[in-house]
């Protein structure tokens, strides 16, 4: 996956700005608090928070890069401290609710109330149970392996399985890999159900109906408005997805025959080159346009040059430097995990870390010299540069304008990885002819567009689980109902409630909200178009590279420095001049491809048939 960040319990807590304060006895005048007292309360919270959050970040880093029972316990304990203090502080802050506070202070109190992605019960015993359950779910995923034929000498973690899924074209092997990995979820089912109950109890004690409502409240609009806005954005891009789905399905049937052809028009999930069928770029060789002009493979170029992981990261750093940003700190290079250690289990899922809320930023990856990881590096460094840009803000404002912004920054940079850019940095000798645009756009769409419905349905499933609309006995059924509805993909083998396929996707056991990734797909094209305009570019949007443009960098930095100090529409306007999320930039970028796909799909049946939702019939 190309969009990864903050993927452990503790790091998620930290990056959502968790405030901490020691319990203090209330003064006799507590019934009539003043604005000055509210300011003093918040000031003390932010000072103490900095120290405690740094400790939790370090514990989370050790857990993610050295998975053992001991590191899980330490990370859980530090996470528990964060949650306990935050919960206490939210309760204490209620005495200031009736005050007419200055705008910045009022926003801090709002962010305080919304700061926990993992709300926990006030009861210490239940809080401990929740944090330990969360850490164990995270660890179960990190330790998960599939051993072909039960041979423990051939076991593979998800990092190795990703590579095999991407490269294999053997139907039997693809099915075995898919089924083998998805077994990792089944043992999580009951723990996850308990996790949901405990988290919901914590959310209710904070004043929210459930954890999903709490999550949807963090977007400067009501939860209902946020859900509706996601659907509005999806409708803008759905026609492009339908054309892509139709084209890819047809080409897969040409490749695999009956194994790829279903009467309902869905695509078997294991045939799309990715364990979760969330991005399809790995099957480009199957769906490439006939007689397509020769283009390039960045991964092959880098491999031929014997590129090392550190050098790969250097390409991303150089792009940001070309926009006027400073080099990465020396500590970044000494403390990041760029390759998979041979002597221990780690969470290879790429993520960017801000360990001290200042300049100790780090990258955690198990880098492969590939086109995917070349793009992922640019994405993850976007997080790190965002973190450094807002580090001078007050603590509660040291976060993205919303979590989708954080995910979009690096991807907007990665969109600028055009032939022109690659020629400038010496990775290719000449720019492919204009007719090569369709293959390049198709390759990009297989990841960017194919991801959209997946990015939408993950949290739709989770919101239904948190709300109680979906019960534990129906977890897997509801998961596949949504995947079929939005993605038009189906499992390669029959699934039942003895399976827990959501657990095979990291962000579920890792408790990482996912709507951010859908939003990031939209925002990144808005950001990209704005930076292209700032750079003075004129021409087809998909050919723009703002590499080397200090003007584009200044526009980007103006937004990054704001952090979360302003509502996200204001931050968006600082960058783009627009105060509303809009997928028109994405549609503009892919317009040449959309025209081409419609021509290719002439005579083909578009879409798929979805069976009635069995849960709604209950």
Task: Output the DSSP codes for 226-263.
Answer: HHHHHHHHHHHHHHHHHHHHHHHHHHHHHHHGGGG--T
Residue 522 backbone dihedrals phi, psi, to 5 degrees: -80, -50
Q: What is the predicted pLDDT for the residue at 334?
A: 96
Residue 10 has what pLDDT?
A: 37
Active site residue 383: yes
26: tokens are 């209330």
Return the structure tokens found at 19. 């405030």
Closest CA relative to residue 144, chosen from 98, 113, 183:
183
Q: Is 350 considered catalytic here? A: yes
Q: Where do runs of H (alpha helix) occur along 257-363?
A: 284-287, 298-304, 309-322, 330-335
At what angle are helices 35-65 and 69-93 packed, to 10 degrees?
170
Examine the residue annotation and report whether 517 is marked as an active-site residue of this protein. Answer: yes
Which stretch, 146-160, 273-287, 344-358, 430-444, has highest mean pLDDT?
A: 273-287
pLDDT band for 614, please (50, 70, 90 cuts). low
At 546, is the pLDDT very low, low, confident or very high (cuts 50, 70, 90)?
very high
- Residue 337 DSSP one-character state: B
By CB atoms closer than 10 A (0-12, 13-18, 19+), residue 564 is: buried
End-to-end CA distance of the chain: give it in Å, rounded: 35
Whether 380 is catalytic is: yes
Residue positions counted in the chain: 618
Q: Residues of the chain with pLDDT > 90: what percent?
A: 78
Bridge partners, 146 (sequence order) = 156
Which residue is catalytic, options 141, 385, 486, 517? 517
- Whether 250 sits among the annotated catalytic residues: the reply is no
- At 268 the three-state DSSP class reads strand
User: What is residue 27's predicted lDDT score, i.e. its pLDDT?
Assistant: 46
Query: Of 89-103, 291-305, 397-411, 550-564, which gets the smallest average pLDDT?
Result: 291-305
pLDDT attached to residue 169: 97
Average pLDDT over residues 542-570: 96
Secondary structure class of 468 (helix, strand, coil): coil
Q: Catalytic: which of 380, 406, 450, 589?
A: 380
Q: What's the pLDDT score for residue 115?
A: 82
Q: Strands (DSSP E) along 411-522, which ranges?
A: 489-490
CA distance 87 to 45: 12
Catalytic residue among 378, 379, 406, 443: 379
Helices assigned H by DSSP within 514-567: 515-534, 550-560
Which has more confidence, 32 or 303?
Answer: 303
Catalytic residue among 46, 78, 407, 464: 407
Of 250, 270, 378, 383, the catalytic one is 383
Question: Would you state the pLDDT for residue 618?
Answer: 54
Question: Which pLDDT belongs to residue 328?
Answer: 98
205-226 pLDDT, tens digit per residue, is 988 999 999 999 999 999 999 9
pLDDT at residue 25, as a whole number: 45
What pLDDT is stored for residue 4 in this prediction? 33
Q: What is the pTM of this model?
A: 0.86
Active-site position among 72, 408, 507, 530: 507
- Give the rounded distance of the alpha carbon of 582 from its chain centre: 19
Lowest pLDDT segment from 20-34, 102-116, 150-164, 439-453? 20-34
Does the pLDDT value for residue 17 go beyond 50?
no
* 3-state SS assignment for residue 113: helix
d(CA 400, CA 75) in angstroms, rounded, equals: 24
Question: What confidence tier does 28 reach under pLDDT thresholds 50, 70, 90?
Answer: very low
Min mean pLDDT across 80-94, 139-153, 341-355 is at: 80-94
Number of other residues whose CB lies within 10 A of the CB of residue 136: 18
| Calpha distance 133→386 (Å, rounded) | 31
Which one of 182, 189, 250, 349 is the catalytic residue? 349
Establish whether 407 is a catalytic residue.
yes
Check if the beta carbon of residue 513 is closer than 8 Å to that of residue 403: yes
pLDDT tens-digit map of 590-609: 999 999 999 999 999 999 99
pLDDT for res 615: 59
- With bands split at pLDDT 50, 70 and 90, how would you rate the model's confidence at 475? very high
Mean pLDDT of the chain: 91
pLDDT value of residue 91: 86
19 pLDDT above the threshold of 50: no
63-102 b/e (C-beta count within 10 Å ≥ 16 → b): bbbebeeebbbbbbebbbbbbbbbbbbbebbebbeeeebe
State the number of CA atoms in the 13 A half-sphere of 398 facing the CB.
Answer: 26
Residue 548 — pLDDT band, cuts 50, 70, 90? very high
Task: Supply 494's token pair.
Answer: 């029959």
Give yes or no for a contact between 426 and 298, defined as CB atoms under 8 angstroms apart: no
- Tokens matching residue 12: 């998620």
Q: How confident is the model at residue 381 (pLDDT cuts 50, 70, 90)?
A: very high
270 as an active site residue: the answer is no
Annotated active-site residue 507? The verdict is yes
Going by DSSP bridges, is the β-strand pair 489-490/267-268 parallel, antiparallel, or unpaired? parallel
Q: What is the pLDDT of residue 616?
A: 63
Compute the distance between CA of residue 86 and CA of residue 230 in angstroms, rounded to an integer. 29
Beta-carbon contacts of 4 under 8 Å, excluding residues fewer than 6 positions away, are 349, 350, 351, 376, 379, 380
Mean pLDDT in residue range 572-580? 95
Question: Which tens digits make up the pLDDT trace of 493-528?
Answer: 999 999 999 999 999 999 999 999 999 999 999 999
The CA distance from 293 to 181, in Å, is: 37
Cα separation, 227 vs 464, whole angstroms: 12
Give the whole-angstrom CA distance, residue 468 versus residue 88: 26
Strand 351-354 and strand 267-268: the pairing is unpaired
Rounded mean pLDDT of 346-358? 91
């Amino acid at each position: 996956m190309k969009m990864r960040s903050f993927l452990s319990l503790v790091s998620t807590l930290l990056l959502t700005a968790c405030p901490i304060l020691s319990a203090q006895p209330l003064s006799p005048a507590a019934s009539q608090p003043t604005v000055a007292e509210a300011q003093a309360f918040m000031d003390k919270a932010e000072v103490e928070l900095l120290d405690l959050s740094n400790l939790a970040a370090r514990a989370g880093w050790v857990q993610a890069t050295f998975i053992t029972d001991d590191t899980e316990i330490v990370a859980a304990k530090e996470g528990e401290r964060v949650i306990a203090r935050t919960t206490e502080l939210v309760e204490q802050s209620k005495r200031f609710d009736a005050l007419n506070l200055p705008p910045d202070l009022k926003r801090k109190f709002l962010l305080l109330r919304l700061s926990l992605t993992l709300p926990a019960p006030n009861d210490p015993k239940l809080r401990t149970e929740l944090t330990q359950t969360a850490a164990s779910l995270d660890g179960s995923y990190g330790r998960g392996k599939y051993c072909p034929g039960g041979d423990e000498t051939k076991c593979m973690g998800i990092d190795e399985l990703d590579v095999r899924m991407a490269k294999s074209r053997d139907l039997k092997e693809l099915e075995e890999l898919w089924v083998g990995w998805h077994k990792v979820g089944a043992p999580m089912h009951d723990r996850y159900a308990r996790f949901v109950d405990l988290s919901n109890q914590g959310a209710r004690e904070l004043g929210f109906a459930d954890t999903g409502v709490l999550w949807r409240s963090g977007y400067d609009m009501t939860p209902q408005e946020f859900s509706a806005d996601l659907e509005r954005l999806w409708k803008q891009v759905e026609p492009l997805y339908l054309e892509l789905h139709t084209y890819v399905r047809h080409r897969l049937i040409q490749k695999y025959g009956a194994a790829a052809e279903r009467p309902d028009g869905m695509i078997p999930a294991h045939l799309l080159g990715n364990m979760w069928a969330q991005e399809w770029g790995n099957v480009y060789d199957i769906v490439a346009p006939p007689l397509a002009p020769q283009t390039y493979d960045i991964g092959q170029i880098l491999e031929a040059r014997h590129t090392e992981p550190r050098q790969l990261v250097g390409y991303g750093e150089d792009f940001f430097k070309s926009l006027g940003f400073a080099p990465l700190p020396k500590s970044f290079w000494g403390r990041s995990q760029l390759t998979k250690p041979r002597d221990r289990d780690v969470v290879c899922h790429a993520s960017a870390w801000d360990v001290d809320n200042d300049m100790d930023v780090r990258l955690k990856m198990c880098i492969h010299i590939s086109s995917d990881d070349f793009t992922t590096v640019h994405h993850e460094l976007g997080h790190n540069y965002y973190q450094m840009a807002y580090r001078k803000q007050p603590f509660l404002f040291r976060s993205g304008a919303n979590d989708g912004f954080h995910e979009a920054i690096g991807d907007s940079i990665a969109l600028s990885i055009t032939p022109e850019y690659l020629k400038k940095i010496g990775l290719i000798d000449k720019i492919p002819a204009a007719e090569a645009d369709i293959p390049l756009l198709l390759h990009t769409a297989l990841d960017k567009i194919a991801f959209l419905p997946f990015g939408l349905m993950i949290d739709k499933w989770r919101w239904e689980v948190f709300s109680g609309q979906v019960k534990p006995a129906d977890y897997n059924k509801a998961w596949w109902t949504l995947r079929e509805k939005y993605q038009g993909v189906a499992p390669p083998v029959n699934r039942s409630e003895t399976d827990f396929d959501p657990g095979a996707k990291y962000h579920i056991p890792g408790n990482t909200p996912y709507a951010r990734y859908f939003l990031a797909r939209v925002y990144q094209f808005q950001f990209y178009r704005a930076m292209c305009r700032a750079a003075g570019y004129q021409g087809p949007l998909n050919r723009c590279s703002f590499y080397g443009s200090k003007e584009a960098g200044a526009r980007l930095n103006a937004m990054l420095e704001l952090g979360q100090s302003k509502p996200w529409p204001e931050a968006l306007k600082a960058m783009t001049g627009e105060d509303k999320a809009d997928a028109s930039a994405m549609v503009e970028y892919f317009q040449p491809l959309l025209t081409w796909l419609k021509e290719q799909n002439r005579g083909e049946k578009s879409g798929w048939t979805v069976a009635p939702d069995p849960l709604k019939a209950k």
